[in-house]
Amino acid sequence: MTKDRNESVTNLATGQNQPFSKKQSRRRFLVKTGGILAASAFGAVPLRGWAAEPVNIGALYPTTGSMAQIGVGCVAAAKLAVEMVNEAGGIKSLGGAKLNLIVSDLQSDTTVTRTETDRLITGNKLSAIHGCFASALTLIASEVCERAKVPIITGSSSDQLNKNRTYTFTPFARASQFAKAQLQMAKLVGDKPKVAVIFENTAFGTSTSNGLKELAPGEGVEIVMFEPYSAGFTDASPLINKVKASGANALFSVSYLNDLILIVRTVKQVGLNVAINGGSGGFVIPDFYKNVGNLAEGLQGIAHWNHDMSNDAQKVNAEYKKRTGEFLFEYAGGLVAQTFMLADALERAGSADPQKVREALSALDVSTGYAAMAPGGKVKFGPDGKNVFGHPVGVQWQNGDLASVFPDEDKRAPLMKT
């Protein structure tokens, strides 16, 4: 048990187990960008003759298993965000206390998620948790956090997270909002869209696809096929042949990375000429382009965060890219913003107590700085823990990168016609 625990949890207090060396250029970046936020939002750093006790933040992510591609990137972003906060002086109201990140590997498994969340909480004095991005995992983790009365902030899009919960906070778009935006984007490629919807039979797939089905009539979109499939399948041909027979001129695939790669390749192999909107999930991470290459060019999707949305986002993206060689994808970028939301709450709470942090999160209302890095640039939580300003952004693969193309107020590049 002890051995498993040590293998699954990484402690980031003073630079231990960090995958990146602290070069002087990076220090200048952290001081310049993080320091600007901290100085403007929290005031000058007080001088103390003693070292404040670190504030423990739990991080629940799958760094092994089928979801590891996203999980590993999230952990890299979480470490960057903590360094930014700490280099800027930490939590001023707590004597400059540093954030201490405690990472737990969920192994892409729902059973492990339950046990690891419980062990993370019972084995550590936590102020809050962020995680897990995958709805199937986050729903379980949030249940454990609710019972333990520890706040969790997450980039998961499942609408279920905003029902009967008081310690769960969702700063980005919900699955139902993704559906509406995706349907509206269908009109970018045709006046009378006929859409085939295929989706994995998980919490993420079913919640998003049901939203598509319910909202389609009101958006003037005809759904000609609505088909679930078993996540992790190895042959997409039968599914794509059904799409071909449906007469659809647009395909919505609600899938994570590996399934989506197979689907896109199969579409091209069978010669199906159809506009593809890959939604969120696996579609909006660098590994998708790595695997399908030019097949991705012009394909559209939906994200709750994109690295071109603001100057702050672009600054963090540049640093993340230096470290990893890849752009800052939606879950990782949103996680940087979430870390600054927690720092803001801790600053206002003046306490590391999870109940007081929850109260401070519930009163969060930001429109500047890294904590406000969301589409529209505003975050304010309603009584259900949902950002009242939250909405998704439509993206498109252009020249190997994701560009924000929808709606007009969030557009950073013109739509590429395909």
The model's pLDDT over 158-187, given as tens digits with 9 standing for 90+, comes to 889 999 999 999 999 998 888 899 999 999
Q: Which domain does 380 fall in, by range? A: 2-173+330-387
Mean pLDDT, consecutive 10-residue stretches, the chain (418 aa), reads: 42 44 47 41 43 94 93 97 98 98 98 98 98 93 98 94 96 89 89 92 80 92 96 94 96 88 95 90 88 95 95 98 96 97 98 98 98 97 97 96 96 90
- Locus of tokens 């979480």: 78
pLDDT of 283: 87
pLDDT of 46: 42
| Average pLDDT of the chain, as a whole number | 88
On whether residue 311 sits in a domain, the answer given is: no
Give CA–CA dist 243/227, Å, rounded.
9
CB 204 within 8 A of CB 135: yes
Are 201 and 275 in a shared domain? yes
319 to each of 28, 82, 156, how far by Cα in Å?
11, 14, 24
pLDDT of 50: 56
The enclosing domain of 193 has a CATH number of 3.40.50.2300
On whether residue 295 sits in a domain, the answer given is: yes
pTM exceeding the 0.85 threshold for the entire prediction: no
On whether residue 310 sits in a domain, the answer given is: no
Are 371 and 223 in a shared domain? no
Give CA–CA dist 142/216, Å, rounded.
30
On whether residue 415 sits in a domain, the answer given is: no
On whether residue 189 sits in a domain, the answer given is: yes
The model's pLDDT over 248-292, given as tens digits with 9 standing for 90+, comes to 999 999 887 889 999 999 999 999 999 999 887 778 889 899 999
